[in-house]
Every structure is written in structure tokens, then in C-alpha cells.
Amino acid sequence: MTQENIAVIVLAAGMGTRMKSVTPKVLHPLAGRPMVNHLLDTVSALEPQRVVVVVGPDMDAVAKAVQPHATVIQTERLGTGHAVAQALPALAGFSGTVLVLYGDTPLITRPTLDAMLACRRAAPYPAVVVLGFRPQDGGQYGRLVVDVAGGLDAIVEHADATPEQRALTLCNSGVMAIDGDRLAGLIGRVGNANRKGEYYLTDIVALARADGAACGVVEGAADELLGVNSRAELAVAEAILQNRLRRTHMDNGATLSDPASVYFCWDTKLGQDVSVAPNVVFGPGVTVADGVEIRAFSHLEGTTVATQAIIGPFARLRPGAEIGAGTHIGNFVEIKQSIIGAGAKINHLAYVGDAHVGAASNVGAGTITCNYDGFGKFITEIGAGAFIGSNSSLVAPVKIGDGAVIGAGSVITKEVKAGALAVARGTQMELPGWADRFRARKQVKTAAKTDKE
């Protein structure tokens, strides 16, 4: 048994009633991705020959989310042993180790699964390897009874345990690595003579021991084996995963000045020497190159940021934003579906949507690209080295040529040629003494009203 095939069964048919949601439990997101997909991503690193996900009736959304992996339906929810039985036809002809995992236990890591597989490969080649853990409160968990040689002697359910057994701290996670050649025979003998009338996967340990086969146990970290059954547990799992992501990014060369206040998505990519200030949030699809500074309270989603750019504080980069090298995107600036050229500066209070902004251009405070007419979106093109004065409105579709200057407060509706100055605002009119006369009239009227009262 120096090397063997691997198959995976993921149990994901639970209704998740404690979540109080129309969304299936395993589709609730962690770091922007359904929890079951976190588990499947970990599993994929093992390069399994087969992966089968057991879902419940009317769980088409789960089946779609786990594609291209096969799914089978557990029509009646009759326990974990019954769920595994539904997957057996999809494993016909398979020989190797079958991992049984849970879609609502998404934080298990590759090293833990590797340890279980290594236990299966080592003498005395156990028929079943169970993953144990030591929670702070063992509560209602089943206890793992280990023999003097370190093998697994039995799983004792809490309700059936003696006081001495309940005092054991090693608990059953439910995760198993099972000899695929024995699995069908063991599952076929699992009965339901218990208070719930269900078929428990844990019974295969006693059956394997009765056959004279060894069973093993591997201990995992408690935070890997958190089962997510409620919104509160989902929040706990999110916190654990965020801490992992923060550590990963710092280990890879990013600086987080206040790690606990920075939130990542599962697919966030940060280059080396990226600096992230407090209270920054990364949504899905963000790639940040080397040497970028992201200042406090910025939000990035669906965007790429090139080297040496400065983002924020209080910047919002929305999907489709492509930020060039050395750009400055400053306070309360929102960028959407726009390409910002290298060295451009958009430093204050601006909205740039559906635009191409040329290299080394400057977009002044209060500028907006008027990209939407109520029916369609239109493009604004700003040439390289252009200067857009403060409080300008660029009504798309419109083009500003290279090096052009737009006077502050302009509403630009027509093309501006390269190198030109465009000013489009109302003519200033002045009436000498008007303000003084206005105030005097108001004061007379106020005094007359007071006398009448």
C-alpha cells in the first residue's frame, strides 16, 4: 500500500433548518464562496479519481455549485450511513481509499487529510480511519476509545457512554477514510435499531473490529472541524477563515497594519510589498500587483491594480476597474468598468464609470462621467495627459483628446480635440448692489410683521 487511488464522498443533503434560510446550508458563503466549494477545493489538491456529492431532493442549486463533480440524491434522510449508501453505485469498481467528508465542515485542511491517508497506508492498514478532535466542550459528541497501541477500539455515542467514557476528551468528527474494497460490505450491514431509526456511519467501526480488522484514529485541530449549522457558527467559521487568509497574505509578503480589520475574499491575490491599511475590504476577483499601497476604508471588487499605485483612503473600485501602474485613486473616488492609464491621478470626490482614462491625466475633484441615460451605458474617453477641471460633467458618449484641458464646472457634451481648452458653463452675470437691496427689503418686511404681532 505505498500508493493508492482516492475517492471522496461529500455529504451535503442536510436541510440546515437552524440556518432559517431558503438557501441550502452548504451554499452559505465563507469569504465570498459557498462553504461546500471551499471543501471541494481542498479535496481537489488530493487529485481524487472520483468525487461524489450526496444532496437532498430539490437541491438543484447545490448540484450546480459542485459541478463538474457527480451528485446523487438522498431522497429520504435516514442518517449518515444511508447517505453513504446512496453514493456507492457511483463508486462501482473503485478500489482504494474513500474519504467521507461533510459539506458543512469546510475548514478541514490538506495536511489533515494527508495524515488520514498516511494512516490508511501504514501497517496494520486499518479498514477505517476516523478523524478525532478535542473541542473545549465535548458536549454531545461521540467519544473515541483508543487502545494501548493507539488504534481505534470503538466509537461510543454520548447517550450510550459511561461516565468514564464521557470524561474522554477525544471526540468523533465524523470524517473517515475507509478501505474502498470493504466499504460496501460494511455499509450493507449497518442497521437502524436505535432511537432515531437511522443508519449511522459510525457503526462501521464496530463492524470492522468484529471482522478482525484494525481501525485507526488521527487527531485534527478543533478549528478545522467546526460544523456550520447556524448563522452564529457561520460567523465563527468566517473569522477562522479570515485569520488564515490574513496569515497567508502576510507570509507571502504583504503588510497588514491592522490584520483583524482587513477582510479578504477567497480568491484575493496580493503581490509582494503591498501595504494594506485598516478597514479595507476585498470582494471577489481582486488582483493587486507588487508595491501597491491601499489606504484605509477602501473597498475593492472585481478589479486589477498595477504596480506602485496608491488607492484610497475611502476609495471604491468596482467590477471592471483596471488601475494602471503608479496611479493615484484617492478620497471618495469610485471607479467602475474603466481603464485608468499609468500615472493618472483621480484624487478627490469623483465618479468614473465606463471610461478610458489616458496615462498621466488628471481628473479634478467632483468630476463625474455621465455614463447612463436611463436606458444604456456609454463610454467616455479621456486622452493621455488631459486635465479635467473640478466639478466637470462629461456626458457620454464623449471623447477628450490628448493633452486637452477642461475648465472647472464644465458640462462637456461634444468631442474636445487634442491640446484644446473647452469651457462649457453658463455666462457669469453680476448686478451691482442687488444683494444689499435684497437684504434691506427682507428686513423691512420682517420688522412690519413683528409690529403687527
Catalytic residues: 348
| AA identity, residue 402 | D
User: How many whole angstroms separate alpha carbon 131 and alpha carbon 142?
Assistant: 12
HEC states along 295-346? CCCCEECCCEECCCCEECCCCEECCCCEECCCCEEEECCEEECCEECCCCEE
Cα of first residue to Cα of last residue in the chain, in angstroms, is 104
Residue 82, CA distances (Å) to 157, 191, 203 in order: 18, 10, 12
* Of 69, 40, 34, 46, residue with least CA distance to 266: 34
User: Of 408, 344, 386, 390, whose CA–CA distance to 398 is shortest?
Assistant: 386
Residue 176: beta bridge partners?
Answer: 100, 130
- Angle made by CA atoms 240, 265, 324, in degrees to the nearest 5: 145
- CA-only gyration radius of the chain, Å: 32
Phi, psi values for residue 103, rounded to 5°:
-65, -20
SS3 331: strand
Angle between helices 180-188 and 203-210 (to 10 degrees): 110
Residue 261, CA distances (Å) to 33, 240, 281, 299 in order:
20, 14, 9, 12
Quick one: DSSP state of residue 118? H
3-class SS of residue 165: helix
Length, in residues, of the chain: 453
Side-chain-side CA neighbours of residue 154 (13 Å): 9
Cβ atoms 394, 414 nearer than 8 A: no
CB-neighbour burial class of residue 268 (10 A; exposed 0-12, middle 13-18, buried 19+)? buried
CA distance 303 to 315: 12
CB count within 10 Å of CB 154 equals: 16
